[in-house]
Amino acid sequence: MPSSTSQRRNLRKRRKKSFIWKTTAIVALLFLLLAGGASAYFLQQLNSVSADTEEELERGEKSNLRDQAVDPSEDSFSVLFLGVDDREDGSMDGRSDAMVVGTFNKDSKKVKLVSIPRDSLVNIEGNGENKIAHANAYGGTDLAVQSVENTLNIPIDYYVKSDFAAFTDIINDLDGVDVDVPFDFTEEGTEFEEGPATLSGEEALKYVRMRKEDPRGDLGRGERQQEVLESLIKKAGSIESIDNYDNVFDSVSENVSTNFTFGNMIALQQYADSLNEIDSSQLQGADTTIDGIYYYQLDPEATLETSNNLRKQLDLPASEEPLALPGTQANNEAPAEESYEEPAAEEEAPAEESYEEPATEEEAPADESYEEPATEEEAPADESYEEPATEEDATEEESYEEPATEEDAPAEESYEEPATEEEAPAEEESYEEAPAEEESYEETTP
C-alpha cells in the first residue's frame, strides 16, 4: 500500500496536470473571442448570446480600486478568467481550479497573462487565511474578484467564468485542432503517433497533459500547450469554421458567464494582432504544508514585483507597500478551514497574563495572585508554591516545594490517605487556603 506521503505527492501531481490544462483552456477562451472577433458572422452570433452570458458584479461596473469605470475601447483594463468545478446542479459556484489575470495596455496593445496557483494561501475576507480557490465557493464571483484584487493590489475590471466542459466542447465544435506530434507516446490509454494529426477535445486534453515521456519535460509540454492554442485560434478565425459557430456559441452560452457587454467584446478586436506576443507567467512561491494541509506559499517580494508589472501595464503607479499576503510566519499559524473565521490550532493556546477567569473544565482555577494561566497539564498553586503541579496532582500545603504526582500525594505524618482530584488534603491548623475545581476558599474544613 502506498504511503500517505506518496499519495499526497501523487495527488499534487494530478492537480498540477489538471491546473495546466484548465489554465490553457481559460486562455483559449480569451483567444477565441479575440480571433473570432474579426468575423462579422462571429459578431452577429456574439450579440445574440451576450445577454445569456452577461452577469453583473454586485459592486457594479467600477472596481473598488478605481476612481471610475474603464472603457476597453479607450482604457487599459484587466480581466479575471475563472475556471470552476462542475456542479451537479449546473451552477458555477464551486472552487476555481484555474485563475488567470489578463491585462491589456491601450497604447502598446500588449497582453499579459498571470496564472494564480489554485492552492495559493491568501487572505479571503470573512474566511481568514485560505486557499484562493475557495473564494468562489465561499462568496461567488464577487469574493473571487475581491480576493485577487487584495492579493495583487490591482483592479479587476472584468471577469469571464466557465466550467471546463465548454472547452472540450468548443474544440469538438470546431472539428478538432491540428497539431504536429513530435514523437510517439501514450497518455491515459490514447496512442499518439509522430506526425500531423487532428485531435478531438478529449485527445487535446491528454496531448497537453503529457510530460513524463517528453525528454524536455515541462518545456516540451509548454510548447504543446502553445501549439494547441495557436491551432484553436486559427480554427476560430477561419472561414471554414463559420458554419460551426452556432454550436460554439451554444457551448459558450451554456457554460460561460461574464460582465463583458457586447460592446466590450467588440473592443477586444484591437488586440488581435498581439496574440503571438502574449507574455505569460505564474505567481512565484513554494510548496508548504500547514497542519497537514498542502498550500502554495506566495513569495512576497516576487509577488510584489509581479503586482507592479501589472500596475504598469494598467497605467497605474508602482507601489512600494507590502502586499496583503499571509506573512512569512505562516507556518506557525493555522489557516482557516471552510467554516473557520480565523486561524486556530488543534490545541488552545494559553491565555494572556491578564486573563482572570478560570480556565477550561480540564484545568484547575488559579488563585487571585496567580498571574499566568495554567496549561492543560498544569494546576495552579498557592502564593508560596514554587513549581506548578499537574492537573491530576493533589494540592499541597504552603511549605511543600515539590509537585505531587497522581499516585503519590505527599502528606504530613498524620496523613493516612492520599487525596483524590475532587478532594484536596488539608492541615488542621496551618493549611489556610486550597483551590477547588469551581471556586477558591479562604479556609477549608479539615
- For residues 397, 441, 391, 413, the Cα torsion angle rounded to the nearest 10 degrees is 30
**How many angstroms separate the CA atoms of 138 and 350, rounded?**
31
What's the pLDDT score for residue 209?
A: 74
Q: Is the pLDDT of residue 248 over 50?
A: yes
Average pLDDT over residues 378-403: 44
Gap between the terminal Cα atoms of the chain = 62
**How many angstroms separate the CA atoms of 183 and 199, rounded?**
15
DSSP 400-429: --SPPPSS-----TT--S---TT-----SS
**How many angstroms separate the CA atoms of 312 and 307, rounded?**
9
Across 118-127, 257-266, 274-283, 383-392, least confident range: 383-392
Quick check: 427 and 398 in contact, CB under 8 A? no
Beta bridge pairs of residue 379: 389
Average pLDDT over residues 336-360: 42
pLDDT, one tens digit per residue, over 64-92 is 999 999 999 999 999 998 887 655 555 55
For the chain, the domains span 4-332, 355-446
One-letter amino acid identity for 45?
Answer: Q
CATH class of 4-332: alpha beta
Q: Which residues contact 212 (CB under 8 A, 6 or more apart)?
A: none
What's the pLDDT score for residue 43?
A: 60
pLDDT, one tens digit per residue, over 271-281 is 877 766 778 88
What's the pLDDT score for residue 342?
A: 38
DSSP SS3 for 332: helix
Q: Is the pLDDT of residue 324 over 70?
A: yes
pLDDT, one tens digit per residue, over 357-373 is 444 444 444 444 444 44
Q: Is the pLDDT of residue 339 over 90?
A: no
More confident residue, 417 or 100: 100
What's the pLDDT score for residue 304?
A: 96
CA atoms within 13 A on the CB side of 358: 13
Question: pLDDT-derived band of residue 356, with 50, 70 and 90 as boundaries?
Answer: very low
